[in-house]
């Protein structure tokens, strides 16, 4: 800025000598942007008496309203030239020059000075020394002043554009750095954006919700408190126009534009407004918008910069969504890791059911969780294990579930159902089934404000894991433990990622068919392990001890990494996987150079003559007469005291954690503060040497402890 002023000052000094006028540039508040150039005795005297900010404001109209060079009379009749310096269509400064004296008004001016300003020494003499100008001379000086204003205007506009570009580059750099460090938020993004564009009265985001609504999530500027949290319908707002057209919009003159009536309702009257779509891939997830009450503040260049900023915002929102999904998946994986570590070791059916109930209610944090279960030894009753239900509610809801699930021939054992209890609570019901056996229902109450759909994937996987564990506990079929774990891992993929499961199923079918086609070895271990190719070997090693299976997987990964693998079954598995992963293109198998050429040719021949048909056979459920009963578990708190050194109060808190209570609910029950509850839970986790509640629950059940009913 100092360099800018120096150049403008030098230019003004030169023009003051050129025009023989005294010149100065003022900002819109009347402050001097440059020092006065070209003093004459008269202008020096006038400046000392009347050259103040207040005087400028008194005798000139509001400077921002000037759009062309204008001549004003001062208090004694001398003329001043005022020429606006406009940057991007807005008056930013004014060039003032004087004094001018025409041919005729000198006597009148001298008379006025003698009558009203005779007390000012030297004024009359200075006016007499001021030359009279013809209309042509006055016009010539006006042109020169205007030319100087235009030169200053061009220079300042270029400098402002340069500064703006530097600010924009810095803005992008800061946000990218924040994203890299994981500290970026939409709030910080908008705050920095408002700093770069101080001419905007407000800037904000409208993010998509359900039912074609948009939430004004964050607003910065004078409208912040009034607009934050407001909802917009797509059809009634400026957002709808942008979303429908999928293009950036700029309203240069809003006037009576109906689509900005939303702002008028909140006592905001923007004269200019922009709105830019924000994408996640090809889907519009919101808009970036801003406005100002000054005409001409938002131009095409700013709109283009805002379009760049909207891409940055899209990146930020996408990054946050991916981070949230990643954290959720890590939580799910952590939970399932603990579940799978505990459940296969549980031998007692009742304890297994309580584990499923406790883990599920801690995942969903709902009002209740229960399992309606039909024991294998009885066809005339069901067992109900629950948390959060009263005895009356258990009898009422449990009987309803039992009647629907075990007495109805139309029961779909693969369908997740959302219902309401008789007292109005939403509930998700997950069938517990494995192969052709139906064991009962896992039922989870949902709080009114919760989105039930977000829990379906993880709870479906939990229900599948529970079903398999129930199957193992019942001992319906004698299977080796390795087989059960392989099946569990394979079936969990179906619940967690159906698309990947279909890929695995295709690979498994091809492996089995190709092994039979070769007719040289049963390849039973290969057929068994072929459904686990999506897992890392290090993960599988945690649950499978069979070295034959592990060696097949190890060789499979080596082949994919272009390493030599001696095992023929590993090469077969790699051929099937590579073939499916590359769109079932037989030409792709030639890339597996570490597989013997003869085996590759056999595989291609096999594929050329294969036609795989997949058939699903529905299974029927058996009707039964049922009754309910509730089982109670005996407290064994001495386990926790002796093995983990937990205090009595910590055991109390832990019992409620196992029952799915949150910190506030525990505090209410025990008549202590939430802060105290938090401290107790922190100490419990430290003593158990775990990091979260899911791990704590799993560890407690491993010790053989269940909370009292």
| Residue position matching structure tokens 């400028």 | 56
pLDDT (0 to 100) of residue 632: 35
Beta bridge partners of 446: 426
Question: What's the rounded Cα separation, in Å, for the pair 290 and 297?
Answer: 11
Residue 149, Cβ neighbours under 10 Å: how many? 24
| Residue 5 and residue 61 in contact, taking contact as beta carbons nearer than 8 Å | no
Distances (CA, A) of 426 to 365, 420, 445, 461, 662: 13, 4, 6, 20, 19
Strand pairing category for 202-208 and 90-100:
unpaired
Burial of residue 213 (number of CB atoms within 10 Å: 0-12, 13-18, 19+): middle
Bridge partners for 79 per DSSP: 73, 100
Sign of the torsion angle spanned by Cα atoms 483, 485, 488, 489: negative
Which runs of consecutive H residues, i.e. helices, occur in 233-299? 238-245, 261-265
Q: Please tell me the distance from the alpha carbon of residue 285 to that of residue 344, in angstroms, as a whole number.
A: 43
Structure tokens that stand for 124 in this block:
């009359």
Nearest-angstrom CA–CA distance, 434 and 490: 13
Radius of gyration of the chain (CA): 40
636 is written with which tokens? 């064994």
Q: CB under 8 Å to 604, separation ≥6 — which residues?
A: 586, 589
The enclosing H or E element of 526 equals helix 524-529
How far, in Å, CA of 285 to CA of 371, rounded?
A: 39
pLDDT for the residue 512 = 86
Please count the residues of the chain: 709
Domains of the chain: 2-161 (3.30.450), 184-323 (3.30.450.40), 347-478+623-629 (3.30.450.40), 491-595 (no CATH), 632-702 (1.10.10.10)
Distance (Å, whole) CA 356 – CA 385: 10
- 179, 183, 184, 185 alpha-carbon torsion, rounded to 10°: 150
Q: At what angle do helices 349-364 and 693-702 cross, to 10 degrees?
A: 170
Q: How far apart are CA 344 and CA 519, in angstroms?
A: 36
The residue among 490, 517, 381, 363 whose CA lies nearest residue 428 is 363
The whole-number pLDDT of residue 211 equals: 58
Encoded tokens for 603: 């595989």
d(CA 260, CA 270): 8
Phi, psi of 201 (to 5 degrees): -75, -30
Two structure tokens written together for 62? 């509001």
Low-confidence ranges of the chain (pLDDT < 50): 476-479, 611-635
Q: Phi/psi of residue 41, each to 5°?
A: -55, -40
Residue 190 near residue 287 (C-beta atoms within 8 A): no
pLDDT value of residue 182: 76
Measure CA 650 to chain center. Answer: 37
Q: What is the C-alpha to C-alpha distance for residues 252 and 379, in angstroms, rounded to an integer?
A: 76
At residue 370, the pLDDT reads 92
Angle between helices 453-474 and 349-364 (to 10 degrees): 170
By C-alpha distance, which of 84, 27, 28, 78 is closest to 49? 78
The predicted-structure confidence for 522-568, as pLDDT tens digits, reads as follows 788 888 888 888 888 888 888 887 788 888 888 888 888 888 878 88
How many H-runs (helices) and E-runs (strands) does the chain carry? 26, 16
**Residue whose tokens read 């020394």:** 129
Can you tell me the distance from the alpha carbon of 93 to that of 299, in angstroms, rounded to the nearest whole number?
19
């Amino acid at each position: 800025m100092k360099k800018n002023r120096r150049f403008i000052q030098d230019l003004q000094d030169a023009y003051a000598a050129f025009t023989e006028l005294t010149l100065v540039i003022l900002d819109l508040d009347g402050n001097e942007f440059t020092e006065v150039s070209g003093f004459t005795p008269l202008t020096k005297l006038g400046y000392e008496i009347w050259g103040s900010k207040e005087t400028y404001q008194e005798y000139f109209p509001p400077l921002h309203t000037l759009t062309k060079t204008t001549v004003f009379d001062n208090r004694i009749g001398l003329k001043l030239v005022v020429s606006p310096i406009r940057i991007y269509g807005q008056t930013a400064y004014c060039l003032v020059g004087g004094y001018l004296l025409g041919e005729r008004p000198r006597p009148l001016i001298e008379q006025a000075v003698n009558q009203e300003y005779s007390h000012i020494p030297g004024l009359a003499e200075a006016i007499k020394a001021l030359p009279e100008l013809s209309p042509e001379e006055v016009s010539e000086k006006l042109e020169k002043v205007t030319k100087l204003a235009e030169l200053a205007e061009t220079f300042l506009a270029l400098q402002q554009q340069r500064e703006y570009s530097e600010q924009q580059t810095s803005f992008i750099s800061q946000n990218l750095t924040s994203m890299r460090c994981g500290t970026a938020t939409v709030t910080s993004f908008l705050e920095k954006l408002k700093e770069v564009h101080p001419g905007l009265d407000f800037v904000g985001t409208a993010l998509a919700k359900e039912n074609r609504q948009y939430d004004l999530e964050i607003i910065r500027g004078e409208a912040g408190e009034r607009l934050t949290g407001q909802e917009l319908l797509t059809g009634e707002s400026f957002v709808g126009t942008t979303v429908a057209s999928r293009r950036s919009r700029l309203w240069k003159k809003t006037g009576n534009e109906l689509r900005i009536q939303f702002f008028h309702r909140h006592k905001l009257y923007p004269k200019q407004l922009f709105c830019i779509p924000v994408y996640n891939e090809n889907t519009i997830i919101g808009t970036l918008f801003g406005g100002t009450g000054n005409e001409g503040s938002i131009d095409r260049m700013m709109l283009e910069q805002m379009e760049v900023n909207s891409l940055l915002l899209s990146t930020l929102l996408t990054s946050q969504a991916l981070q949230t999904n990643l954290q959720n998946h890590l939580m799910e994986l952590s939970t399932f890791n603990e579940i799978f570590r505990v459940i296969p070791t549980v031998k007692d059916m009742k304890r297994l059911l309580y584990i499923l109930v406790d883990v599920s209610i801690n995942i969903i944090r709902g009002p209740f969780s229960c399992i309606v279960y039909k024991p294998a030894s009885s066809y005339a009753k069901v067992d109900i294990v629950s948390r959060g239900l009263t005895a009356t509610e258990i009898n009422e809801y449990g009987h309803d579930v039992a009647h629907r699930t075990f007495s109805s021939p139309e029961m779909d054992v693969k369908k997740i159902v959302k219902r309401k209890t008789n007292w109005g609570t939403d509930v998700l019901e997950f069938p517990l089934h494995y192969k052709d056996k139906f064991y009962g229902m896992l039922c989870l109450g949902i709080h009114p404000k919760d989105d039930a759909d977000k829990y379906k994937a993880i709870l479906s996987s939990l229900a599948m894991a529970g079903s398999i564990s129930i199957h193992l506990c019942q001992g319906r079929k004698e299977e080796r433990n390795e087989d059960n774990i392989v099946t569990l891992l394979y079936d969990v993929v179906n619940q967690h990622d159906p698309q990947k499961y279909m890929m695995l199923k295709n690979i498994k079918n091809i492996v089995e068919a190709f092994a039979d086609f070769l007719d040289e070895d049963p390849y039973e271990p290969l057929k068994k392990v072929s459904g686990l190719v999506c897992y890392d070997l290090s993960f599988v090693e945690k649950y499978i001890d069979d070295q034959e299976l592990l060696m097949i997987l190890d060789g499979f990964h080596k082949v994919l990494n272009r390493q030599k693998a001696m095992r023929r079954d590993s090469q077969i598995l790699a051929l099937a996987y590579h073939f499916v992963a590359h769109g079932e293109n037989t030409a792709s198998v030639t890339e597996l150079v570490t597989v013997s050429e003869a085996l590759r040719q056999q595989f291609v021949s096999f594929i050329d003559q294969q036609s795989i048909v997949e058939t699903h056979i529905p299974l029927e459920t058996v009707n039964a007469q049922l009754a309910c009963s509730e089982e109670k578990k005996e407290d064994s708190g001495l386990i926790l005291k002796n093995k983990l050194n937990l205090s009595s109060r910590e055991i109390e808190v832990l019992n409620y954690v196992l029952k799915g209570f949150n910190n506030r609910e525990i505090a209410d029950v025990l008549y202590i503060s939430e802060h105290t509850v938090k401290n107790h839970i922190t100490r419990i986790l430290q003593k158990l040497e775990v990091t979260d509640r899911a791990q704590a629950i799993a560890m407690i059940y491993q010790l053989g402890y269940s909370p009292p009913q």
